[in-house]
A = this chain, B = another copy of it.
């Protein structure tokens, strides 16, 4: 299984698939779209899906800096290969899946604007055929530019790492528990399921993280928040 986590679809994505199938016509391909230019979301999605696809090759292409100085890398973990730019996309997943080998992909003189099609897709195709992985090894990958959550006496501070299509706001905090909080002047209850509230609620989502949601309403639009924003909950 080759999984494409990208911030584009359209003919760009189709071209990547065509390149892979020319090399390995039997490859099974799954694609997942993330918000444009949103590297944090991409990293979150890769982290959330990898355990559902053991032995998969994941190409991540959320790459606002394409053509710039960031490296292209392949990471081999115990069960997976991760291919893409070294811009933090793989940092969350590598906290749980230790890299066995990190290879820097040599930059050749090809398309300066579409590494997904011209570099990552052919490489994934070859790896899916069990071709050897060669290249210059490097020691570590780049982290995302997000701070750890902070749990203080009066409040919790955390970072938004994903906003889903319902507008649910997913943060980078786990393992908290309270009855209710004050968030941006709103008192919000901590509940177990969406249907328990007619309004806003805070819950631990199916992904394991603290989430601010709203029953049939878009919480992210309401609070005007986006991925990467640092937010505070005060205990109520």
Chain A contact residues, CB within 8 Å of chain B: 1, 3, 8-15, 17-19, 21-22, 30, 32-34, 36-37, 44-45, 48-49, 52-53, 64-68, 111-114, 117-118, 164-166, 192-196, 203, 205-207, 215-216
Could you tell me the distance in whole angstroms from the C-beta of A23 to the nearest C-beta in chain B?
A: 12
On chain B, the residues within 8 Å of A32 by CB distance are 10-11, 13-14
CB neighbours of A205 from chain B (8 A): 113
Does B113 contact A194, Cβ atoms closer than 8 Å? yes
The CB with the most chain B CB atoms within 10 A, among A10, A36, A111, A215, is that of A10
Contact A206 B64 (CB under 8 A): no
Chain B residue with the shortest CB-CB distance to A164:
B10
Closest CB-CB distance, A205 to chain B, in whole Å? 6
Chain B residue with Cβ nearest A118:
B206
Cα-based distance from A94 to B85 in the complex (angstroms): 36
Are B64 and A11 closer than 8 Å at their CB atoms?
Answer: no
A-B pairs with beta carbons under 8 Å apart, 9 shown: A10-B164, A11-B44, A11-B45, A12-B164, A14-B49, A36-B216, A64-B216, A67-B192, A67-B193
Residues of B within 8 A of A67 (CB): 192-196
How long is the Cα–Cα vector from A67 to B203 in the complex, in angstroms?
A: 12
Q: How far is the CB of A1 from chain B (nearest CB, A)?
A: 8
Pick the contact of A30 from B14, B49, B114 — CB < 8 Å?
B14
Query: A48 contacts which of B15, B37, B44 (Cβ < 8 Å)?
Result: B15
Inter-chain contacts of A34 with B (CB < 8 A):
10
In the A-B complex, the 8 residue pairs with the closest CB atoms: A67-B193, A18-B52, A114-B206, A68-B195, A11-B48, A113-B206, A11-B45, A112-B193
